[in-house]
Amino acid sequence: MDDSEFPHDQSESSEATQIVDSAALKRVREQITQRSQAYLMVIAGPHSGAMLKVDRNETILGRSDKSDLTLQDVGISRSHVRVSRVGDQVFVEDLQSANGTYVNGQRLSIRHELQEGDKIAIGASTIIKFSLQDGIDEDYQLRITEAALKDALTGAFNKKYFSDNIYSEFSYAKRHSTHLCLVMFDIDHFKNTNDTFGHLAGDYILANLGRLAHGMLRAEDVFARYGGEEFAVILRGITMYQGYQLAERIRAGIARFRFEYDGQHVPVTISMGVASFPEIDVQTPDELIAAADGALYAAKRSGRNRVEMAT
Protein backbone atom coordinates (compact mmCIF):
# COMPACT_ATOMS: atom_id res chain seq x y z
CA MET A 1 0.00 0.00 0.00
CA ASP A 2 1.58 3.31 -1.00
CA ASP A 3 1.16 6.74 0.56
CA SER A 4 -1.33 7.81 -2.08
CA GLU A 5 -3.96 5.54 -0.53
CA PHE A 6 -3.95 7.50 2.71
CA PRO A 7 -5.98 10.71 2.87
CA HIS A 8 -4.00 13.80 3.77
CA ASP A 9 -5.19 16.90 5.61
CA GLN A 10 -4.10 19.45 3.05
CA SER A 11 -4.58 22.40 5.39
CA GLU A 12 -2.34 20.80 8.02
CA SER A 13 0.40 19.69 5.60
CA SER A 14 0.66 23.11 3.97
CA GLU A 15 0.81 25.06 7.22
CA ALA A 16 4.26 26.49 7.93
CA THR A 17 5.86 25.66 11.29
CA GLN A 18 6.10 28.77 13.44
CA ILE A 19 9.63 29.78 14.44
CA VAL A 20 9.80 30.13 18.22
CA ASP A 21 11.60 33.13 19.67
CA SER A 22 15.09 32.11 20.86
CA ALA A 23 14.61 33.93 24.17
CA ALA A 24 11.49 31.84 24.88
CA LEU A 25 13.38 28.62 24.12
CA LYS A 26 16.19 29.73 26.41
CA ARG A 27 13.72 30.35 29.28
CA VAL A 28 12.26 26.85 28.88
CA ARG A 29 15.72 25.26 28.84
CA GLU A 30 16.71 27.18 31.96
CA GLN A 31 13.59 26.01 33.80
CA ILE A 32 14.23 22.37 32.84
CA THR A 33 17.89 22.45 33.88
CA GLN A 34 17.25 24.49 37.02
CA ARG A 35 18.47 22.85 40.20
CA SER A 36 15.62 21.27 42.13
CA GLN A 37 14.37 23.19 45.17
CA ALA A 38 12.98 21.60 48.32
CA TYR A 39 9.34 22.38 49.18
CA LEU A 40 6.92 21.61 51.98
CA MET A 41 3.31 21.37 50.76
CA VAL A 42 0.36 21.06 53.14
CA ILE A 43 -1.87 18.42 51.55
CA ALA A 44 -4.37 17.89 54.41
CA GLY A 45 -5.67 19.88 57.36
CA PRO A 46 -6.90 23.45 57.95
CA HIS A 47 -4.09 24.98 55.88
CA SER A 48 -4.32 22.59 52.94
CA GLY A 49 -2.69 24.16 49.88
CA ALA A 50 -0.05 26.15 51.75
CA MET A 51 3.40 25.81 50.21
CA LEU A 52 6.81 26.79 51.61
CA LYS A 53 10.19 26.72 49.89
CA VAL A 54 12.90 25.29 52.15
CA ASP A 55 15.57 27.85 51.28
CA ARG A 56 16.97 28.53 54.75
CA ASN A 57 19.25 26.51 57.01
CA GLU A 58 16.42 26.16 59.52
CA THR A 59 12.64 26.31 59.13
CA ILE A 60 10.27 26.04 62.11
CA LEU A 61 6.70 24.76 61.80
CA GLY A 62 4.22 25.26 64.61
CA ARG A 63 1.26 27.10 66.08
CA SER A 64 3.21 30.24 67.00
CA ASP A 65 2.92 33.38 64.86
CA LYS A 66 6.73 33.45 64.92
CA SER A 67 6.96 30.11 63.10
CA ASP A 68 8.12 30.14 59.48
CA LEU A 69 4.94 28.21 58.64
CA THR A 70 2.13 28.84 61.14
CA LEU A 71 -0.31 25.93 61.39
CA GLN A 72 -3.44 26.37 63.49
CA ASP A 73 -4.52 22.77 63.96
CA VAL A 74 -5.61 20.96 67.11
CA GLY A 75 -2.65 19.25 68.77
CA ILE A 76 0.13 21.25 67.12
CA SER A 77 2.66 22.73 69.56
CA ARG A 78 3.86 26.33 69.36
CA SER A 79 7.21 25.17 67.96
CA HIS A 80 6.44 21.68 66.76
CA VAL A 81 8.99 20.60 64.18
CA ARG A 82 12.26 21.81 62.65
CA VAL A 83 13.25 21.30 59.02
CA SER A 84 16.95 21.94 58.37
CA ARG A 85 19.22 21.98 55.33
CA VAL A 86 22.75 20.61 55.33
CA GLY A 87 24.14 21.00 51.83
CA ASP A 88 21.77 19.13 49.51
CA GLN A 89 20.24 17.11 52.35
CA VAL A 90 17.06 18.10 54.19
CA PHE A 91 16.28 16.82 57.68
CA VAL A 92 13.22 16.93 59.94
CA GLU A 93 13.16 16.64 63.72
CA ASP A 94 10.49 16.87 66.38
CA LEU A 95 10.94 19.71 68.90
CA GLN A 96 9.66 17.77 71.91
CA SER A 97 6.09 18.47 70.82
CA ALA A 98 3.18 17.33 72.98
CA ASN A 99 1.77 14.96 70.34
CA GLY A 100 4.82 14.01 68.31
CA THR A 101 5.77 14.13 64.64
CA TYR A 102 5.25 11.23 62.22
CA VAL A 103 7.01 10.58 58.90
CA ASN A 104 5.29 8.03 56.67
CA GLY A 105 3.41 6.73 59.71
CA GLN A 106 6.46 6.30 61.95
CA ARG A 107 6.89 8.51 65.03
CA LEU A 108 10.17 10.45 65.01
CA SER A 109 12.60 9.90 67.85
CA ILE A 110 15.73 11.22 66.13
CA ARG A 111 16.50 13.56 63.24
CA HIS A 112 15.36 12.04 59.95
CA GLU A 113 16.59 12.75 56.42
CA LEU A 114 13.67 13.56 54.13
CA GLN A 115 13.24 11.89 50.75
CA GLU A 116 11.07 12.89 47.78
CA GLY A 117 7.40 12.24 48.57
CA ASP A 118 7.81 11.78 52.35
CA LYS A 119 4.69 12.73 54.31
CA ILE A 120 4.99 14.49 57.68
CA ALA A 121 1.94 14.26 59.98
CA ILE A 122 1.49 16.66 62.89
CA GLY A 123 -1.53 17.63 64.97
CA ALA A 124 -5.01 16.22 64.49
CA SER A 125 -5.22 16.43 60.70
CA THR A 126 -2.23 18.24 59.14
CA ILE A 127 -0.15 16.31 56.60
CA ILE A 128 2.82 17.93 54.85
CA LYS A 129 4.45 16.47 51.75
CA PHE A 130 8.17 16.95 51.07
CA SER A 131 8.94 17.49 47.40
CA LEU A 132 11.87 18.42 45.15
CA GLN A 133 10.82 20.61 42.23
CA ASP A 134 12.47 22.44 39.35
CA GLY A 135 11.17 25.71 37.90
CA ILE A 136 8.51 24.06 35.72
CA ASP A 137 7.31 21.82 38.56
CA GLU A 138 7.09 24.86 40.84
CA ASP A 139 5.03 26.93 38.39
CA TYR A 140 2.71 23.99 37.71
CA GLN A 141 2.23 23.23 41.41
CA LEU A 142 1.45 26.88 42.18
CA ARG A 143 -1.21 26.92 39.44
CA ILE A 144 -2.74 23.66 40.68
CA THR A 145 -2.74 24.92 44.26
CA GLU A 146 -4.36 28.21 43.32
CA ALA A 147 -7.03 26.42 41.28
CA ALA A 148 -7.84 24.19 44.27
CA LEU A 149 -8.11 27.07 46.73
CA LYS A 150 -9.52 29.99 44.77
CA ASP A 151 -12.63 30.88 42.84
CA ALA A 152 -11.51 31.48 39.25
CA LEU A 153 -14.05 34.22 38.53
CA THR A 154 -13.56 36.49 41.55
CA GLY A 155 -10.05 35.61 42.72
CA ALA A 156 -11.46 35.03 46.22
CA PHE A 157 -10.78 31.88 48.20
CA ASN A 158 -13.42 29.17 47.81
CA LYS A 159 -15.87 28.01 50.48
CA LYS A 160 -13.81 24.99 51.51
CA TYR A 161 -10.80 27.19 52.22
CA PHE A 162 -13.05 29.55 54.17
CA SER A 163 -14.52 26.69 56.21
CA ASP A 164 -11.08 25.31 57.09
CA ASN A 165 -9.80 28.73 58.10
CA ILE A 166 -12.77 29.92 60.16
CA TYR A 167 -12.39 26.83 62.37
CA SER A 168 -8.64 27.27 62.89
CA GLU A 169 -8.96 31.05 63.42
CA PHE A 170 -11.80 30.66 65.91
CA SER A 171 -9.77 28.10 67.85
CA TYR A 172 -6.82 30.51 67.88
CA ALA A 173 -8.97 33.43 69.08
CA LYS A 174 -10.45 31.40 71.95
CA ARG A 175 -7.07 30.04 72.99
CA HIS A 176 -5.36 33.45 72.98
CA SER A 177 -8.36 35.56 74.09
CA THR A 178 -8.11 37.74 70.98
CA HIS A 179 -10.71 39.21 68.66
CA LEU A 180 -11.95 37.47 65.55
CA CYS A 181 -14.27 39.40 63.26
CA LEU A 182 -16.37 37.98 60.44
CA VAL A 183 -17.94 40.14 57.73
CA MET A 184 -20.50 38.64 55.37
CA PHE A 185 -22.07 40.43 52.42
CA ASP A 186 -23.97 39.83 49.23
CA ILE A 187 -25.06 41.77 46.17
CA ASP A 188 -28.45 43.46 46.39
CA HIS A 189 -31.08 42.34 43.84
CA PHE A 190 -28.50 40.22 42.01
CA LYS A 191 -31.12 37.92 40.45
CA ASN A 192 -32.93 40.93 38.97
CA THR A 193 -29.61 42.20 37.60
CA ASN A 194 -28.97 38.85 35.92
CA ASP A 195 -32.50 38.78 34.51
CA THR A 196 -32.22 42.34 33.18
CA PHE A 197 -28.65 42.46 31.85
CA GLY A 198 -27.82 38.77 31.38
CA HIS A 199 -25.57 36.28 33.14
CA LEU A 200 -22.42 37.57 31.45
CA ALA A 201 -23.10 40.93 33.05
CA GLY A 202 -23.50 39.12 36.36
CA ASP A 203 -20.09 37.49 35.91
CA TYR A 204 -18.58 40.88 35.08
CA ILE A 205 -20.02 42.31 38.31
CA LEU A 206 -18.78 39.41 40.43
CA ALA A 207 -15.27 39.62 38.97
CA ASN A 208 -14.96 43.36 39.50
CA LEU A 209 -16.55 43.28 42.94
CA GLY A 210 -14.02 40.63 43.98
CA ARG A 211 -11.15 42.77 42.72
CA LEU A 212 -12.43 45.93 44.45
CA ALA A 213 -13.14 44.27 47.80
CA HIS A 214 -9.83 42.41 47.87
CA GLY A 215 -7.97 45.66 47.23
CA MET A 216 -9.35 47.16 50.47
CA LEU A 217 -8.18 44.31 52.73
CA ARG A 218 -4.97 43.47 54.57
CA ALA A 219 -2.69 40.76 53.21
CA GLU A 220 -3.55 38.49 56.15
CA ASP A 221 -7.34 38.81 55.79
CA VAL A 222 -9.16 35.82 54.28
CA PHE A 223 -11.57 36.95 51.54
CA ALA A 224 -13.76 34.13 50.26
CA ARG A 225 -16.71 33.52 47.97
CA TYR A 226 -19.25 31.91 50.30
CA GLY A 227 -22.03 31.28 47.79
CA GLY A 228 -23.31 32.50 44.43
CA GLU A 229 -23.27 36.24 45.17
CA GLU A 230 -22.34 36.01 48.86
CA PHE A 231 -18.87 36.70 50.23
CA ALA A 232 -17.14 36.47 53.60
CA VAL A 233 -14.07 38.10 55.16
CA ILE A 234 -12.22 36.66 58.17
CA LEU A 235 -10.41 39.38 60.13
CA ARG A 236 -8.01 38.26 62.84
CA GLY A 237 -7.53 40.66 65.79
CA ILE A 238 -10.31 43.03 64.68
CA THR A 239 -13.05 44.32 67.00
CA MET A 240 -16.70 44.66 66.07
CA TYR A 241 -16.43 48.42 65.49
CA GLN A 242 -13.22 48.09 63.47
CA GLY A 243 -14.95 45.44 61.37
CA TYR A 244 -17.90 47.78 60.90
CA GLN A 245 -15.59 50.58 59.72
CA LEU A 246 -13.91 48.28 57.19
CA ALA A 247 -17.26 46.97 55.96
CA GLU A 248 -18.53 50.52 55.53
CA ARG A 249 -15.47 51.40 53.41
CA ILE A 250 -16.08 48.38 51.19
CA ARG A 251 -19.82 49.12 50.91
CA ALA A 252 -19.19 52.77 49.98
CA GLY A 253 -16.46 51.82 47.50
CA ILE A 254 -18.75 49.39 45.68
CA ALA A 255 -21.61 51.92 45.63
CA ARG A 256 -19.31 54.59 44.14
CA PHE A 257 -17.83 52.36 41.46
CA ARG A 258 -19.45 52.70 38.05
CA PHE A 259 -20.16 49.21 36.72
CA GLU A 260 -20.62 49.36 32.95
CA TYR A 261 -21.36 46.34 30.80
CA ASP A 262 -21.91 46.38 27.04
CA GLY A 263 -22.27 50.16 27.14
CA GLN A 264 -24.87 50.12 29.90
CA HIS A 265 -24.54 51.36 33.46
CA VAL A 266 -25.42 48.57 35.92
CA PRO A 267 -26.26 49.84 39.42
CA VAL A 268 -24.61 47.65 42.10
CA THR A 269 -24.85 47.85 45.89
CA ILE A 270 -24.14 45.38 48.68
CA SER A 271 -25.57 44.65 52.12
CA MET A 272 -23.21 43.59 54.91
CA GLY A 273 -23.30 41.95 58.33
CA VAL A 274 -20.54 42.09 60.97
CA ALA A 275 -19.98 39.85 64.00
CA SER A 276 -16.93 39.69 66.25
CA PHE A 277 -15.81 37.26 68.95
CA PRO A 278 -15.77 37.66 71.95
CA GLU A 279 -18.08 40.70 71.78
CA ILE A 280 -20.80 38.40 70.50
CA ASP A 281 -21.44 35.51 72.88
CA VAL A 282 -20.72 32.60 70.54
CA GLN A 283 -19.02 29.31 71.32
CA THR A 284 -18.38 27.86 67.86
CA PRO A 285 -17.40 29.08 64.38
CA ASP A 286 -20.86 28.10 63.12
CA GLU A 287 -22.46 30.40 65.69
CA LEU A 288 -20.19 33.25 64.56
CA ILE A 289 -21.20 32.63 60.94
CA ALA A 290 -24.88 32.60 61.94
CA ALA A 291 -24.46 35.89 63.82
CA ALA A 292 -22.81 37.63 60.84
CA ASP A 293 -25.39 36.16 58.46
CA GLY A 294 -28.20 37.37 60.72
CA ALA A 295 -26.73 40.88 60.68
CA LEU A 296 -26.51 40.71 56.87
CA TYR A 297 -30.21 39.91 56.59
CA ALA A 298 -31.01 42.67 59.08
CA ALA A 299 -29.24 45.05 56.67
CA LYS A 300 -31.42 43.79 53.83
CA ARG A 301 -34.59 44.19 55.88
CA SER A 302 -33.54 47.75 56.73
CA GLY A 303 -33.41 48.80 53.10
CA ARG A 304 -30.19 47.28 51.66
CA ASN A 305 -26.96 49.07 50.74
CA ARG A 306 -26.01 49.26 54.41
CA VAL A 307 -23.94 47.59 57.15
CA GLU A 308 -25.40 46.09 60.32
CA MET A 309 -23.61 44.73 63.39
CA ALA A 310 -24.75 41.57 65.16
CA THR A 311 -26.37 42.01 68.56
At residue 96, does pLDDT exceed 90?
yes
**What is the domain partition of the chain in residue ranges?**
37-147, 150-309
Query: What is residue 270's predicted lDDT score, i.e. its pLDDT?
Result: 99
Q: Which residues, at least 6 apart from 221, have a Cβ–Cβ distance to it below 8 Å?
A: 233, 234, 235, 236
| Catalytic residue annotation | 229
Identify which of 78, 80, 281, 100 has the alpha carbon closest to the alpha carbon of residue 174: 281
Domain 37-147 has CATH 2.60.200.20: yes
Query: What is residue 26's predicted lDDT score, i.e. its pLDDT?
Result: 58
pLDDT digits (tens, 9 = 90+) for 140-155: 666 776 777 899 999 9
At residue 11, does pLDDT exceed 90?
no
In the CATH hierarchy, which fold is given to the domain comprising 150-309?
A: Alpha-Beta Plaits (3.30.70)
pLDDT digits (tens, 9 = 90+) for 153-182: 999 999 988 998 999 899 889 988 999 999
The packing angle between helices 285-301 and 159-176, to 10°, is 110
pTM over 0.75: no
pLDDT digits (tens, 9 = 90+) for 196-239: 999 999 999 999 999 999 999 998 999 999 999 999 999 999 99
At residue 15, does pLDDT exceed 70?
no
Q: What are phi and psi of 268, to 5 degrees?
A: -135, 130
pLDDT digits (tens, 9 = 90+) for 252-290: 999 999 999 999 999 999 999 999 999 999 999 999 999
Query: What is residue 4's predicted lDDT score, i.e. its pLDDT?
Result: 47
Query: What is residue 65's predicted lDDT score, i.e. its pLDDT?
Result: 83
